[in-house]
Structure formats: C-alpha cells, structure tokens
C-alpha cells in the first residue's frame, strides 16, 4: 500500500500544528486526527487548511476511537502521537478521563500500528513528569533559583538513567503509556521511539496556568495583568523552542533504525534553563515594564528543579538546540503582536 501522508494525532494543537506546518512547507501531505476539544485549536486547523489547500486531510475523532485510528494509520508514512490530556491539575480533577485519554488512546495507536501490514514509524511524546519530584536530588537555593548540590548534575541535567517515579494521575497515565510504547517496540519490533519532554514553547501556543506556562506568562504580561506564581518562583526548567523540537522529531523519524525502542530526554538543557522569577525578569525587559506577581501555594507534583540531559539524543543524531531563551520569547512575543485577538482570549485556553 502506498503511504500518502504524515499522520498527527492531536495535530491541531500547539506542537501538532508546528509539525504539520514543517511537513506541509516541505511538500508533504498531512493527516490531522483531532477531537478539537481544546478551545482555540479550530483556528490552527483552519489556518493550515487555508494555507495548504488540498494537502491537509482532517478526521474529527478521538484517539479512544480505535476504528478511526486504524483507518488513519493504514496510509501513514509516519505517525506522531500528540493527542493527550496534558494538565496535572485536570488529571487530579478527573483521573478517569486522564487515564483513557492518555493510556487507552496510546494503546489504540500502538494496536493500529501493530495491525498494519507495513507498520509506520511512531514518535510518542512523553513527559519529564515520569521522573516524579526527583526526591533523591539534593538541592540548594540561591537568590533566584533552585539548583542541585551536585555540580556535575547541575551542569549536565537529568539523563534517561534517572529512576522512574510517576507522580499524579497525569504522571501515571503518561508514564504507563511511555512504558507501553517501549514494550511494543521490543515485544513486537514496532519502529517506535519516545521523547520525554521538558518545557516546550513557541508559536501557536495559547498556554494557561496549567499547561504552556511560558506562553501564558507572555500573554499575561502583554495584557498588563499579574502572573500567578505557585510556590517561591525559584523552580527551574529548561526551555526548548518548538522549531528546535520539530527538527529533533524529524531526525528521530528519519533515523528510526537508531531511535526505535529508546527513550530520549528532550529539552533546552542547562544552557537554556531558567527559574520562573528569572523568566519574568526577561519578559519584563522585553515588554519594557515590570510584570506584577500574585503568589499562590506550591502545587502537588511540582518539581523544584528539572533540566534535561540531552546528550543521548545529541550523540545519536548530532542534534542541539539552536534558539536560546531570549530569542525564543521574542519570537513568541512578536507572533502574538501579529495576532492581538489571541492576547485577550481566556486564560483557560490551551493549544
């Protein structure tokens, strides 16, 4: 059977839209399977359909619908599985929805590929939350951030050798899905790989307090509204601009013979790490005025420090981030300037 398109589950969302644009710009056809449950994603889909008329196939379906998935997989050159429930807070409110969206949905994707006569390569997006709160990592607090007491660890970040420690329903559902993808690669020789991702940000992200916080911070600042910080604001994350992520994803699919059956920690690494307070300083400098902060209690499952060690993927395929934090947040800021209506939309929107 001739493969016709790149299949992207959750393809109308933030990362899905960026991956779709990348392939469409290179002349490929793309099949987006999305239930459009997140407010705002319809506009991403409409933009893709209008700009790349005739090369965007769309199926309005949920990944819990195994039959629709099976049909979509049969003509796929490659599968990017992004469809998921993405917020820890939502998982705590409705763990059953979280379980079925993240674990049942992923099993349906795996089974659709396994039942295919010629299984296409799969890239699944997991999360750094599979490592839990990193209770074994001793930290010290500086004026603006938490950081490991172990200097080599601070310089390298968390590797794939870190013990798994699922925390929160979201961590459990994504972690279990992560392990199923690895097992299907080993048990059934499926060409499947995993990215355990840090904080991804960039164009087409309409973040909220619960997910996509970099975009949420920028939008709040542009509206002149305060940013709520939960905890002391010294929590550290490594940020990866979405263009760098898309480039890494394409490499992983193109070299699936080297990446299949392997998990990779993907993020900006130590060079692109920032605390919440440090990022707010950068945003304040960018917009030219001080951003106001409201303070809230620390949230369950929040890691005080997480930075990805990306050396495994870098050594395998020669990839490294090219876009630093200052350049990346400016690019997102300018993207919002071109779309002022998005700045004013409700803070609960997630794309």
Catalytic residues: 170
φ/ψ of residue 8, rounded to 5 = -125, 110
CA distances from 66 to 56, 70, 80, 104, 323 (A): 21, 6, 16, 9, 38
φ/ψ of residue 33, rounded to 5 = -115, 115
Q: Which residue has the tokens 């199923």?
A: 180
Return the H-helix or E-strand segment holding 6.
strand 5-9
Gap between the Cα atoms of 216 and 222, Å rounded: 10
φ/ψ of residue 139, rounded to 5 = -115, 155
Gap between the Cα atoms of 309 and 321, Å rounded: 12
Q: State whether the Cα torsion 124-180-309-238 is positive or negative.
A: positive
């Amino acid at each position: 059977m001739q493969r016709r398109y790149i299949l992207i589950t959750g393809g109308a969302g933030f990362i899905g839209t960026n991956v779709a644009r990348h392939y469409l710009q290179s002349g490929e056809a793309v099949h987006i399977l999305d239930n459009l449950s997140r407010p705002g994603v319809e506009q991403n889909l409409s933009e893709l359909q209008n700009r790349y008329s005739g090369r965007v196939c769309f199926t309005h379906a949920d990944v819990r619908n195994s039959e629709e998935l099976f049909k979509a997989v049969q003509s796929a050159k490659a599968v990017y599985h992004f469809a998921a429930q993405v917020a820890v807070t939502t998982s705590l409110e409705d763990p059953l929805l979280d379980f079925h969206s993240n674990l049942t949905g992923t099993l349906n994707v795996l089974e659709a590929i396994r039942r295919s006569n010629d299984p296409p390569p799969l890239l699944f997006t997991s999360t750094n939350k599979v490592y839990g709160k990193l209770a074994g990592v001793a930290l010290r607090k500086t004026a603006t951030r938490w950081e490991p007491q172990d200097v080599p660890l601070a310089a390298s970040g968390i590797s794939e050798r870190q013990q798994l420690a699922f925390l929160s329903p979201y961590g459990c559902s994504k972690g279990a899905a992560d392990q199923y993808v690895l097992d299907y690669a080993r048990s059934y020789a499926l060409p499947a790989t995993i990215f355990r991702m840090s904080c991804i940000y960039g164009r087409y992200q309409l973040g909220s307090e619960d997910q996509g916080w970099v975009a949420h911070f920028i939008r709040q600042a542009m509206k002149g509204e305060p940013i709520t910080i939960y905890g002391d604001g010294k929590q550290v994350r490594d940020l990866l601009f979405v263009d760098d992520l898309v480039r890494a994803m394409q490499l992983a699919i193109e070299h699936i013979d080297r990446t299949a059956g392997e998990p990779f920690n993907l993020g900006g690494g130590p060079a692109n790490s920032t605390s919440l307070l440090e990022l707010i300083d950068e945003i304040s400098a960018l917009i030219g005025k001080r951003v106001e902060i409201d303070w809230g209690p620390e949230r369950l499952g929040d890691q005080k420090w997480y930075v990805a060690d990306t050396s495994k993927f870098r050594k395998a395929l020669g990839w490294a981030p090219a876009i630093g934090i200052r350049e990346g947040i400016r690019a997102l800021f300018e993207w919002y300037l071109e779309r002022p209506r998005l700045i004013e939309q409700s803070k609960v929107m997630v794309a």
